[in-house]
Amino acid sequence: MNKTNKTMYWVVWAITLIGINCYALPLAMWSTFAGTEEAKWLWIAIAVVIYVLLNVGVIQMYVAIKQGKYRFFQIGLIVAVIQFIAMMILGGQFEGDIFLLLGTLAVSSTLMIIQLRKSPS
């Protein structure tokens, strides 16, 4: 892998990070307004879990670049694009797309587990 191609992967990863977090951060922060004042720490913990779950694909792509597994990166990018589209639709408050978002989260998590199990270290 030459330096130009590796730089391209990092640029694509950065764009994906920004794109996913444009929707992940507001969605996670929105959940903090759902709770009561007495259990505010619980709702903040839920917001952190939502934020991390929505970024599993981005984390998986990062690990793929660091391990040099560019096939996993490409699959992760496809899943991240579908997740981004699902979050855009969810932002427009259309019904029925939550299953698409949950599906992409499941695929991202599965891909991360497979990638880490195939890791030589």
Instruction: For residues 74-96, give the mean pLDDT.
Output: 80
Structure tokens of 111? Answer: 């891909």
pLDDT by residue (tens digit) across 30-73? 877 766 777 778 888 888 998 998 899 999 999 999 998 889 99
For residue 116, count other CB atoms closer than 10 A to its CB.
Answer: 12
pLDDT of residue 92: 64
The pLDDT of 86-95, averaged and rounded, is 70
Single-letter residue type at 57? G
Rounded distance between C-alpha atoms, residue 46 and residue 66, angstroms: 29
What's the angle, vertex CA 90, arms to CA 71 and CA 35, rounded to 5? Answer: 110
Domains of the chain, residue spans: 3-117
Q: Are 90 and 98 in contact (CB under 8 A)?
A: yes
Long-range contacts of 104-109 (CB under 8 A, 24+ apart): 104/57, 104/79, 104/80, 105/53, 105/54, 105/56, 105/57, 107/79, 108/56, 108/57, 108/60, 108/76, 108/79, 108/80, 108/83, 109/56
- Alpha-carbon distance of 53 to 109, in angstroms, equals 9
